[in-house]
């Protein structure tokens, strides 16, 4: 028997999963919630854009969750031996860079900086660098349009360079104390394998390509001249960024004796290169050519792969097209919605409609499921946290239209769910417009498993069958698959996925009459989307309220 470990670092917690490499069977799992800040996130009440994390939580998470998962695996299968674990895979959120000193130690772990949020990990959803993102976009549009073309036309405030440049501007002490900045996904495998000193650190293809404009076409990261125009110090930082990156079929290194003894594992087993949670989640969901994997949680990641041999055009609004970022030998294409579950959580937790019981997700979903498409006369934009794809504009805001004096909370709840479905369809359409056809949609993440109404609406809106990944922890499973590959259990990812991934029996098929109504509603959604989302091409709105009423009347007839 051979086993693999997947470590999955999420927004609020880290999970360890131990699987049987033969069939993906899950033997043990354990979750550790980060201790620092609110639900593991350092916030600033004066600045809603700020979100940081403590790397000490990342380290403690390894010890706690591996021990927990091993204990559970032993209980499930008395013959289980942790020494039979052949490798470790790691996925994290991203872009979540942290400043480190010349030895590779995160500044946040030094006494001098331990209370300074700027010295901590800048979590993916930190938007403090939105002005810097605009600055980078503007300069690239002028001087290096090729950079932008590969990341959807706009550089995001969530990404690596926006965050570093913002730190340089607001806290030069932290910037100056940092030798370089490292993605969480690179730092963690490097720590486990003792390769975290800058001269030995390997950076992953996934983070570099999707979030830092890394591309072999122009010699890796953006050049020093370009970065120097943003700030001379950023230009100097360029030399600390390596010219080579690695996909998940390569190892970051081998588990050190120290960590092996701490964790009770075999010293020297390979630790795979890290990647973002969504990318390894796509692997765990069985991604291959023609399959769109949607990871639906607080936000979504929508992922597609296309053979590296294919001639792909640049696709406006798609966050990145990076060779080998998801599967070796394939371009990884990443899109996403900035908020999905977060919008429903906002409505339930912040607006608290109908009091605590009537306003729970469960109660609202039960009532909303009884409504017919179009019946409420409501239409919403899913932009409460901006729009990642296809507009790439974090500052966009939400919109709700069609309220009357009779509008009820469950109608708004359903309209918010529908808005996220329209957002999802907009992404699928964008892929298709540029020749990347989607033959199959596989969903994963808690919401896709728990909320049948949402899945049915997604099927009805998109006109496509919605499948759900078998594993409830596909990101951790994807990491374990990478571990199995670098651990030598399989020759490649395709073989590992065939053995270790699966789809749930229940799927959601589109209901034709619902799809018909949603096709009308989607036209109106696009009108609002383009009217409010595009800067120049404004679109007429005078018909929107009235057409919504026509749809409402027909739905109620």
How many positions of this chain bind its own copies (CB under 8 A)? 52
Q: Quote the least distance from Cβ 372 to its own copies, whole Å.
A: 15
Residue entry with tokens 């009537």: 358
Please pick, from the candidates 200, 219, 545, 554, the single residue that binds its own copies as defined by CB under 8 A. Answer: 545
Which tokens is 228 given?
Answer: 């120097």
Return the SS3 of 260: helix
Contact call for residue 554 and its own copies (CB under 8 A): no
Q: Which window, 141-149, 328-336, 394-402, 433-441, contacts its own copies (CB under 8 A)? A: 394-402
Q: Quote the least distance from Cβ 360 to its own copies, whole Å.
A: 12
* Choice between 391 and 489, CB closer to its own copies: 391
Contact call for residue 374 and its own copies (CB under 8 A): no
What are the distances in angstroms from CA 9 to CA 6, 292, 368? 10, 22, 33
Q: Quote the least distance from Cβ 377 to its own copies, whole Å.
A: 7
Q: Quote the least distance from Cβ 350 to its own copies, whole Å.
A: 6
| Chain centroid, CA 445 distance in Å | 11
Contact call for residue 523 and its own copies (CB under 8 A): no
Q: Quote the least distance from Cβ 51 to its own copies, whole Å.
A: 12
* Choice between 384 and 451, CB closer to its own copies: 384
What are the distances in angstroms from CA 123 to CA 53, 183, 304, 372, 380? 6, 10, 24, 39, 28
Please pick, from the candidates 346, 361, 367, 369, the single residue that binds its own copies as defined by CB under 8 A. Answer: 346
C-alpha span between 171 and 345 (Å, rounded):
33
C-alpha span between 186 and 435 (Å, rounded):
33
* Choice between 212 and 296, CB closer to its own copies: 296
Which residues have a Cβ under 8 Å from the Cβ of 225 and sit 6 or more positions away?
235
Please pick, from the candidates 152, 274, 359, 374, the single residue that binds its own copies as defined by CB under 8 A. Answer: 359
x/- site string to its own copies, residues 305 to 344, per CB under 8 A? ----------------------------------x--xx-
Q: Which of 469, 465, 450 lies closest to 369 in space, CA to CA? A: 450
Q: How many C-beta atoms lie closer than 10 Å to residue 362's C-beta?
A: 11
Asked whether 284 and 481 are in contact (CB, 8 A), the reply is: yes
Asked whether 196 and 117 are in contact (CB, 8 A), the reply is: no
* Choice between 12 and 240, CB closer to its own copies: 12
C-alpha span between 328 and 245 (Å, rounded):
12
* Choice between 142 and 350, CB closer to its own copies: 350
* Choice between 32 and 124, CB closer to its own copies: 124
* Choice between 152 and 386, CB closer to its own copies: 386
Buried b (16+ CB within 10 A) or exposed e, 174-191: bbebbbbbbbbbbbbbbb
Please pick, from the candidates 25, 48, 102, 523, the single residue that binds its own copies as defined by CB under 8 A. Answer: 48
* Choice between 355 and 435, CB closer to its own copies: 355
Binding stretches for its own copies (CB under 8 A):
48, 339, 342-343, 345-346, 350-356, 358-359, 377, 384-385, 395-409, 412, 531-546, 548-549
């Amino acid at each position: 028997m051979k086993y693999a470990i997947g470590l999955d670092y999420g927004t609020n917690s880290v999970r360890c999963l131990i699987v049987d490499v033969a069939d993906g069977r899950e033997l043990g799992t354990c979750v550790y919630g980060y201790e620092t800040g609110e639900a593991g996130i350092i916030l600033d009440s004066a600045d809603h854009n700020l979100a940081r994390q403590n790397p000490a939580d990342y380290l403690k998470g390894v010890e706690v969750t591996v021990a927990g998962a091993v204990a559970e695996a032993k209980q499930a299968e008395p013959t289980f031996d942790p020494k039979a674990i052949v490798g470790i895979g790691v996925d994290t959120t991203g872009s979540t860079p942290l400043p480190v000193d010349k030895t590779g130690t995160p500044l946040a772990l030094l006494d001098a900086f331990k209370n300074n949020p700027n010295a901590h990990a800048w979590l993916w959803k930190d938007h403090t660098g939105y002005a810097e993102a605009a600055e980078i976009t503007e300069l690239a549009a002028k001087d290096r349009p090729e950079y932008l073309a590969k990341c959807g036309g706009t550089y995001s405030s969530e990404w690596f360079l926006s965050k570093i440049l913002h730190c340089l501007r607001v806290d030069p002490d932290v910037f100056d104390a940092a030798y370089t900045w490292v993605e969480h996904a690179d730092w963690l495998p490097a720590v486990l394998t003792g390769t975290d000193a800058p001269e030995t650190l390997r950076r992953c293809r996934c983070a570099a390509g999707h979030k830092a404009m890394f591309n072999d076409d122009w010699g890796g990261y953006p050049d020093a001249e370009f970065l120097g125009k943003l700030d001379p110090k950023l230009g100097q930082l360029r030399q600390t960024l390596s010219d080579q990156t690695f996909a998940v079929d390569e190892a970051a290194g081998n588990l050190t004796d120290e960590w092996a003894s701490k964790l009770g594992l075999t010293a020297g087993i390979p630790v795979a290169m890290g990647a973002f949670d969504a990318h390894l989640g796509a692997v765990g969901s069985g991604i291959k050519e023609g399959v769109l994997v949607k990871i639906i949680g607080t936000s979504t990641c929508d992922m597609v792969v296309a053979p590296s041999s294919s001639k792909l055009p640049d696709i406006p609004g798609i966050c990145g097209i990076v060779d080998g970022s998801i599967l070796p030998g394939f371009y990884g294409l990443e899109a996403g919605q900035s908020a999905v579950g977060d919008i429903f959580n906002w409505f339930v937790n912040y607006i608290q409609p109908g009091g605590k019981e009537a306003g729970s997700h469960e109660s609202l979903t039960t009532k909303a499921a009884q409504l017919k498409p179009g019946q409420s006369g409501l239409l919403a934009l899913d932009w409460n946290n901006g729009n990642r794809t296809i507009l790439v504009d974090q500052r966009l805001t939400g919109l709700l239209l069609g309220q009357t004096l009779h509008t009820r909370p469950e109608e708004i709840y359903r309209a918010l769910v529908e808005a996220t479905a329209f957002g999802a369809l907009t992404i699928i359409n964008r892929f298709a417009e540029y020749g990347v056809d989607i033959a199959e949609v596989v969903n994963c993440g808690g919401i896709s498993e728990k909320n049948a109404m949402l899945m049915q609406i997604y099927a009805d809106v998109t006109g496509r069958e919605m499948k759900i990944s078998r594993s409830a922890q596909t990101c951790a499973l994807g990491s374990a698959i990478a571990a199995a590959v670098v651990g030598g259990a399989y020759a490649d990812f395709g073989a590992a996925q065939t053995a270790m991934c699966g789809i749930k029996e229940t799927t959601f098929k589109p209901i034709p009459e619902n799809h018909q109504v949603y096709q009308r509603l989607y036209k109106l959604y696009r009108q609002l989307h383009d009217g409010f989302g595009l800067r120049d091409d404004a679109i007429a709105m005078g018909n929107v309220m009235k057409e919504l009423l026509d749809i409402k009347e027909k739905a109620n007839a």
